[in-house]
Amino acid sequence: MTRRFKQIDVFTSVPLKGNPLAVILDADGLGDEQMQSIARWTNLSETTFVLPASDPAADYRVRIFTTQEEFPFAGHPTLGTAHALLEAGLQPKTPGVLVQQCGIGLVPVRMAANGEHGALGFRAPPAQLDAMEIGLLPLLQATLGIGSLPAQHPPVVANMGICWLVVRLASAADCLAVVPDGVALAELMRRSASDGVAIYGAHAAGGPAGLEVRAFTVENGMLLEDPVTGSANACIARLLPGQDYRVRQGTAIGRDGRVTVVHDADGPWICGQSVTIIDGTLTC
């Protein structure tokens, strides 16, 4: 069967500088094993499958797969899927707002004033925030290759369907200097029950962004750095309530991802642009 397929570069307005996402726009009829096989084949961090919504408040339902497993929520797949659907002609039930149904429930995605070609933003889901066990500090230091952490910002395990161990460093320069240890990271993920470690540090005034962010995980036994991470940025935003700022991510691996965080009465919104790189069909 031939299905509509797009590959989207998320959190960038410049092709090949963001985080790629595969989107299967006609996923009705695919089983779990087929979806997992397709996600393994695309070999991207995530592949999304668009289905009819079962909740009348939603515009569509999405399932999100890595090469290994299904996630109930993830950030760049949320924005990338919304971009792909708008480009394909989806008209939301509420003008200016798409409502995504996924494993954690309903996630609203706002459109910019210039519609499908502008930035999109998803409302950060609620997060469970727990202090990291103090006994894990030596393992965290070994993972990041650092001797100390800012005492006023203890590491936090933030869970919003996907779980990040969030670590603030003293500066953006310190963030960029980290060379993580994959073996230690795998053990840290296991012991903290997290999907990876997200680190961040502030740029000096007048820098390229307010924060520099990096996110690391281990997949299939390999250390990976994520180019631009919506869920990690959403978790960080939950630790910085009321603050609006811009993020640069992916610098250390030759990307230039850009995220804007804005707050309103509903909490933080994680915003960014996306561009379509591949537009075609998938036969499976």
Question: How much of the chain is helix, strand and coil, in % rounded to 5?
Answer: 25, 40, 40
Catalytic site residue 212? no
Closest by alpha carbon to 258, among 86, 250, 176?
A: 250
Contact between residue 226 and residue 11 where contact means Cβ atoms under 8 Å apart: no
Catalytic residue among 46, 69, 70, 116: 46
Contact between residue 264 and residue 124 where contact means Cβ atoms under 8 Å apart: no
Residues contacting residue 5 through CB under 8 Å, at least 6 positions apart: 22, 23, 24, 25, 278, 279, 280, 281, 282
Strands (E), 206-273: 211-219, 222-226, 245-249, 257-264, 267-272
Closest by alpha carbon to 268, among 159, 133, 78, 122?
A: 122
Count, residues in the chain:
284
Residue 270 Cα distances to 68, 73, 121, 141, angstroms: 26, 14, 5, 29
Contact between residue 58 and residue 106 where contact means Cβ atoms under 8 Å apart: yes
Residues belonging to the active site? 46
